[in-house]
Amino acid sequence: IMPIITFRSTTTKDKRAYATAGDTGTILAVARANDVKIPFECQEGECGSCLIRVEYVEGKPRMAIALTEREKTKLKELGKITEEQIADAEVNDIAPPYRLACQFIAREEEVIIHYEHCPAEA
């Protein structure tokens, strides 16, 4: 079974779905390979420009919940994750709603990625 990653722009309503073979790299890499215009700058989890909201498809397994220290720090700075959500992710495998596309590695889960289209491309 191939997991499906769906990209949905919150600004242009553009919607595209891609089946991935599992070992896909980051969500940002998948987006770039398919010309999906998620904004990015540093690609290191430091600038926060690649912020996405991740919606998990009901009834499918959830993975890729682990956050790197960098991602946690940046999401906290952006006000997009609480200490409680971090604890939930680490202890209870409950996925937080916001992620950084350059840090989130998609594996076998099926997700809908909500992103804000690059302003220059909208």
Instruction: Compute φ and ψ for 108, nearest 5 degrees.
Output: -95, 0
Among 30, 36, 50, 54, interactor with ligand FES by CB under 6 A: 50
Which CB atom, from 6 or from 43, has the smaller least distance to ligand FES?
43
Residue among 57 and 118 whose Cβ is closer to ligand FES: 118
> Is 41 near ligand FES (CB under 6 A)?
yes
Does the protein bind ligand FES through residue 48 (CB under 6 A)? yes
How many whole angstroms separate alpha carbon 100 and alpha carbon 54? Answer: 10
Q: Say which amino acid occupies 106.
A: A
For ligand FES, the binding residues in 100-119 under the rule CB under 6 A are 100, 102
- Nearer to ligand FES by C-beta: 4 or 29? 29
Token reading at 5: 């990653």
Q: Interaction with ligand FES in 21-40: which residues (CB under 6 A)?
A: 40
Q: Distance between CA 27 and CA 55 in Å, rounded? A: 13
Nearest to 100 by CA among 57, 56, 70, 122: 70
Binding site for ligand FES (CB under 6 A): 40-43, 45-50, 100, 102
